[in-house]
Amino acid sequence: MGSSLCKAYFCRWNVKQSKSRRLSCIFQAIYIKEQFINGFHNTISNGTDVDHIDAFEKPQCALLLTMDKQMAEIYTKAMFQKFEHERMQSLPCFMELKMDDASKAIYNVSERKRGKTRVTEIVYDKYSDQWSCSCKGFEFIGILCCHALALLKREQIEYLPNKYILNRWKKTAKSGLLSSSNGNEIKDCENNSLLIKRSRMSRLASDVIEHALMSEEGCELLSNNLNDTRVMLKLLNDGVGPSEVGGSSSQTRYLKDPKRVTHKGSSKRVKGAKETRMQPAIRHCQQCGQTSHDIRRCPRMANTS
């Protein structure tokens, strides 16, 4: 017994020493795969939540000005917070006209931070109607810097020009370009109507699914209706008229199986597996020992009587 245990432990030690590197790589690969899948799903979920917030939640304006209200309707929540931060930084800026001629105007913008004064130069091209700042904030971030916003305030421009509003920071950035199943571009996606319709249908679908999950019949009914709706939408996208689609689907009726009715009274006792496998015992006559009859029908008892 002792020698067999020693051999078993020796085999385990040998496998561990020779295959430990390979086994560790296998376990590490499995762990990394599960970790990647969980992280991927979390990233998708967080991205969906952020997209919903950017598309449908209106941020609050710290400065109740016309330009802030305008950009709160256009920018996403994250970009509007950056824009509003630049607006707050533009309040203590001071403007000084350095040069003005027929082609351009140059301004010096003084900004004081942490006890130090920083001077930035803004050039206004009158021919192209373009503002350019030496800090290159618009080129790097994609929104106007505080120096340009201070100059717009000095010029009493209430609304931000469209050429300084980039499409990638808008709420409709992801809905600006859609394509059909045939690859054709859908043009009418510049406003929020598509997002509003999507939100309304998503809420309706979520409520219907919650009610359907209460029973198996509800899940089956919803699945059948969704399949019919998918077929109808495919026919509509392919160019089939609504009357033809409605006529083809109105003939389809799904009938369920009737519910099972139990008989009245108590059912027979359910036998176990062991009891089912057991064969019934053979009864012997107590008088003669044969199996064809019992003691009441035994021939010997009839002869004695």
* 201-255 pLDDT tens trace: 877 887 788 788 888 888 888 888 888 888 888 888 777 655 554 444 445 666 7
Residue 142 and residue 72 in one domain? yes
Q: Among 120, 137, 166, which residue terminates a domain?
A: 166
Note down the domain range covering 81.
66-166
Residue 96 and residue 36 in one domain? no
82 touches 72 (CB < 8 A): no
Average pLDDT over residues 283-294: 82
How many independent structural domains does the chain possess? 2
How far, in Å, CA of 133 to CA of 90, rounded? 13
How far, in Å, CA of 147 to CA of 111, rounded? 8
**More confident call, 31 vs 7:** 31
Q: Among 125, 151, 166, which residue terminates a domain?
A: 166
Average pLDDT over residues 19-23: 54
Average pLDDT over residues 269-275: 78
Q: pLDDT tens-digit profile of 148-188?
A: 888 888 888 888 888 888 888 887 776 655 555 555 555 54
Does residue 234 belong to any structural domain of this protein? no
How far, in Å, CA of 127 to CA of 105, rounded? 11
| Statement: residue 58 has pLDDT above 50 | yes
How far, in Å, CA of 143 to CA of 78, rounded? 12
Residue 161 and residue 70 in one domain? yes
Does residue 263 belong to any structural domain of this protein? no
pLDDT value of residue 175: 60
SS3 at position 218: helix
Average pLDDT over residues 130-155: 85
Residue 122 and residue 87 in one domain? yes
Residue 16: band (very low, low, confident or very high) from pLDDT cuts 50, 70, 90? low
Residue 127 and residue 85 in one domain? yes
Residues in contact with 285: Cβ distance below 8 Å, sequence separation at least 6, in sequence order: 291, 292, 293, 294, 295, 298
pTM: 0.43
3-state secondary structure 6-63: HHHHHHHHHHHHHHHHHHHHHHHHHHHHHHHHHHHHHHHHHHHHHHHHHHHCCCCCCC
Does residue 256 belong to any structural domain of this protein? no
**Phi, psi (5° rounding) for residue 49?**
-65, -40
Does residue 79 belong to any structural domain of this protein? yes
Residues in contact with 79: Cβ distance below 8 Å, sequence separation at least 6, in sequence order: 143, 169
Residue 31 and residue 112 in one domain? no
Residue 162 and residue 71 in one domain? yes
Report for 32-46, 48-62, 89-103: range of highest mean pLDDT: 89-103
Of 143, 175, 172, which is closest to residue 160 (Cα–Cα)?
143
Does residue 43 belong to any structural domain of this protein? yes
Does residue 8 belong to any structural domain of this protein? no
The four Cα atoms 133, 135, 137, 140 give a dihedral, to 10 degrees, of 120
**More confident call, 242 vs 74:** 74
pLDDT value of residue 254: 63
Q: Among 118, 146, 166, which residue terminates a domain?
A: 166
Average pLDDT over residues 11-40: 60
| Statement: residue 56 has pLDDT above 70 | no
Mean residue pLDDT across the chain: 74
Residue 37 and residue 110 in one domain? no
